[in-house]
Amino acid sequence: MARTPRAVVLAFLLLVLGGAHAAMRRAYSLPFPPLETLVATGRSLQDVGITAGGFRRAAADLAWVQFLQYLAAPGGWSAEGVRDQTLRVTRLDPRFKEAYIYGAGILGFFRNMDHPHMAIAILREGIQHNPHEWQLHATLAAIVYRVEEKPEKMLRELERLAHAPDAPPVIRGILGNTYLSMGELEKSMVMWELILESPAPEGERERAKGKIREIRLRKAKERRSAGRS
Amino acid sequence: MSALAALASYTIKHHLRHRVYLILLIFGVLMLGGVIVLSALAPDQRLRILFDLGLAGIEVIALVATVFLMVNLILEEMESRTIYLILTHPVPRHTYILGRFAGTMCAVLAGMALMALLHLALLLPSGWDASWAYGAAWTAIALKMVVVGGLALVLSLFSSSANTAMVLTVFLWILGHFTSEMSFLAMKSQNMLIQGAVWLTRSIVPDMSYFNYRDFVGAAIVPGAAWFGWLAVYAAAYTAVCLYLSSLLVSHKEF
């Protein structure tokens, strides 16, 4: 006699459970690509281990810190290394737009790198996951203009990116260096000062301080030579 | 009702005096301190790291506390025979289970709330814009802990060994984060047998990935209120099934 109500209660609970599970899955699909898309690096065990615990964004954060350490390490970087480190972060968290911009910025603009096609591929992947992030589109446009040798259009896109409040310091650095090579010292100075005002990584800040010193020296030299003439 | 409240209140006091609970709380505070150091390594993403790793830290500590306290909850009483003192009173066994479970969860959630306050005390002065998303993420973690608590309780009564129950709970926790991955692989395999096994596993194991609201915060499409409602219903139903089975196991146990 007592068995029937127990079975009924259990059946009811299981029915509610199944219904809620189905409704929950219908209402929202998880925003992460499957694990097989993760980039295999020397730290794959760390990535899979943290993801197994359900901490996908935290795994991307740690990968990001390690990416910055990779860039700061002595001995130089390789284009493949920068690409893999970028994709390691972004495959863990495809919404990490700063990582796409950072990696693509280095690959697309740094003189010792110069792998715009790798940068374009990274940004295209970023845009696929974040179609409404204008900064990804602008970075892609700037790199494409650079490849097509249209410097005015490239500078316009970089300016737009660099003056956004949450602009990645790498973009400001790229623009600062571009202006410096063009002899636009004032415009370059603005970029380095913007980096110092923002919470940029220590390496970027040191670089900005060095560039500011360099610009001041060049200005003083120019003034001296103008005075002599 | 008064028996239930008395049991829950007794359980809360018992846990708050428990050395392991206090050590875990101290460890949680230290972990939040560690997050500050880690976030300093990436200054331009400091807030993101503080937010993510802080919530992850709260969840890890809450998980350890839930599994440890819940697995030992009734097993310790059975070993020390103090369970007789309670069951000699006119307390139905399902009330006993419910009261002990509710008390343990209140203690865990109180610890989580304390750690969240500390976490917010780190976030707010760092320039973080207070958002309701934090509350939603915290609530989703709390719901996850309630599910884990129910699971740990039923497994402890089923296996009668604290170590086995703890290992099984953690195993199901990990498996619960792979349910969507398993579905993806089953879809690729096209094998009916594998697909059936995955469907069965997915139906039994709690779908833990859906409780990770903290991971959806930066997503282009954030889940809506209806999803949150279904998540709460799912957590409540899963826990109710676990408590129901626990109650059945206790009522069939010979003390």
Residues A78, A70: Cα–Cα separation, whole Å: 10
CB pairs under 8 A between A and B: 131
Interface contact A24-B230, CB threshold 8 A: yes
Give the pLDDT confidence score for residue A201 in this predicted structure.
77
A149-169: pLDDT as tens digits: 888 888 888 898 888 888 888
- Which has more confidence, A41 or B242? B242
Q: Which residue has the tokens 């290394």?
A: A81
Interface contact B223-A27, CB threshold 8 A: yes
CA nearest B237 in A: which residue?
A17
Interface contact B42-A64, CB threshold 8 A: yes
Cβ partners under 8 Å of residue B19, min gap 6: none
Helix (H) or strand (E) holding A213: helix A202-228
Worst-scoring range by mean pLDDT, A163-177, A185-199, B16-30? B16-30
Give which of A182, A171, A177 is closest to A143, Cα–Cα: A171
B120-157: pLDDT as tens digits: 998 998 888 888 889 999 999 999 999 999 999 999 99
Residues A33, B214: Cα–Cα separation, whole Å: 17
Q: Which of A17, A53, A65 sits opposite B238 (nearest CB)?
A: A17
The letter for the amino acid at A44 is S
pTM metric for this prediction: 0.86
CA nearest B235 in A: which residue?
A17
ipTM for the assembly: 0.86
Which of A209-213, B28-32, B129-133, B146-150 is the most confident on average?
Answer: B146-150
Residues B224, B222: Cα–Cα separation, whole Å: 6
Interface contact A201-B42, CB threshold 8 A: yes
Give the pLDDT confidence score for residue A73 in this predicted structure.
82
Residues A211, A175: Cα–Cα separation, whole Å: 12
Q: How far is B31 from chain A (nearest CA, A)?
A: 14
**Residue-wise burial string across A172-203, b where 16 or more C-beta atoms lie within 10 A, e elsewhere:** bbbbbbbbbeeebbebbbbbbbbbeebbbbee
CA nearest B52 in A: which residue?
A58
Handedness of CA A210, A213, A215, A221 (dihedral sign): negative
A217-228: pLDDT as tens digits: 988 888 888 777
Give the pLDDT confidence score for residue B136 in this predicted structure.
92
Q: How far is A183 from chain B (nearest CA, A)?
A: 29
Interface contact A57-B52, CB threshold 8 A: yes
